[in-house]
Amino acid sequence: METNAKPKISINHVEKIYQGRDKKTVALNGVDLEIFENEFVCVVGPSGCGKTTLLNIIAGLETPTSGEVTMNGTPIIGPGNDRGVIFQQYALFPWLTTRKNIEFGFSYLKKTETKIVTDKATGKTKEVTKLRRYTREEKHELSDKYMRMVDLQDFADAYPKELSGGMKQRVAIARGYAVASEVLLMDEPFGALDAQTRAQLQEDLLKTWEQEKRTCFFITHDVEEAVLLATRVVVMSARPGRVKEIIPINLPYPRNQATKLLPEFNDYKNAIWAQVYKEYVEIKK
């Protein structure tokens, strides 16, 4: 990463405490992390270390107890269409087709349109910028684009009940890319899938990310998956969660399942797993 690059997302001294009736739970304790433009950051760590809590704070779905998260230098205070979230449970509307599920996000988005207009009184021209809703044709064109990106163009009119688990997650990824203009947040999106489908979707996601870059923040329990996908892997400590180590993954792109056969791949996997295992040991003490 260039030393003069400005972070896309800055997480500064973030603490998150959940107050129960009888006790409080410190989920995050002093988390500091910078995520840069078009990075693919994977986060691993033991269960309960605050990975999902951190993602929810970046998404604007939760607020930190103390500390601050900024995007492009502006504090995150709520959800926004500059960030999209993909969950493990797909979160598709069962009454909408593949196309309509992808297009749904555009129903509440507006696009910037700039026109050159001439002042009738003076004859001078000027730029006028305004926001307008997407037209039906624009929605159709964009949904076509993202369906092709995840190889679902032949299932445009299918409903979720007619799709496999892997295909449903492809719809969710397409919708996330279509709606999120800058950052894609993924919370174990492949965790419920069988090994073969998971491997295929990992390659689909890598291909999509290389074609149309977004800044990606990806939570996983699978160290092998993290090494395959990430430009950097963040290892979190046992609760209360903090950043224990950040490991750059210097493996060439494009990557696919064959990348796992490289000796360097196993070196990264073993080094990261050793760090995660230490945290599991801490939990059992």
Give the pLDDT confidence score for residue 127 in this predicted structure.
77
Phi and psi (nearest 5°) for 24? -115, 150
Digitized pLDDT (tens) for each residue of the chain, 285 residues in all: 554 678 999 999 999 999 888 889 999 999 999 999 999 999 999 999 999 999 999 999 999 999 999 999 999 999 988 898 998 887 899 999 999 999 987 777 766 677 777 777 787 787 777 777 888 898 899 899 989 988 899 999 999 999 998 999 999 988 888 887 799 999 999 988 889 989 999 999 999 899 888 899 999 999 999 999 999 999 999 999 999 999 999 999 999 999 999 999 999 999 999 999 988 887 776
Give the pLDDT confidence score for residue 282 in this predicted structure.
77
What 3-state class would DSSP assign to 131?
Answer: strand
**Structure token digits, residue 159:** 């409903």
Q: What's the CA gap between 259 and 8, in Å, rounded?
A: 28
Which residues on adjacent β-strands are paired with residue 31? 14
**Taking the domains of the chain in order of start, what are their residue ranges?**
7-222+238-251+279-284
Q: What's the distance, Cα to Cα, between the start and end of the chain in Å? A: 37
* Contact between 54 and 11 (Cβ < 8 Å): yes
CA-to-CA separations, 136 to 84, 103, 104, 143, 147, in angstroms, rounded: 22, 9, 11, 11, 16
Angle between helices 165-179 and 136-149 (to 10 degrees): 130
Give the pLDDT confidence score for residue 125 in this predicted structure.
81
Identify the residue whose tokens are 């009888």: 22
User: For the domain 7-222+238-251+279-284, what is the CATH superfamily, name and number?
Assistant: P-loop containing nucleotide triphosphate hydrolases (3.40.50.300)
Give the pLDDT confidence score for residue 12 in this predicted structure.
98
**Structure token digits, residue 229:** 């996908």
By the 10 Å C-beta count (0-12 exposed, 13-18 middle, 19+ buried), 61 is classed as middle
Alpha carbon 243 to chain centroid, angstroms: 18
Indicate the length of the chain as a whole number: 285
Give the pLDDT confidence score for residue 111 in this predicted structure.
67
Phi and psi (nearest 5°) for 165? -60, -40
DSSP label at residue 93: -
Cα Rg of the chain (Å, integer): 21
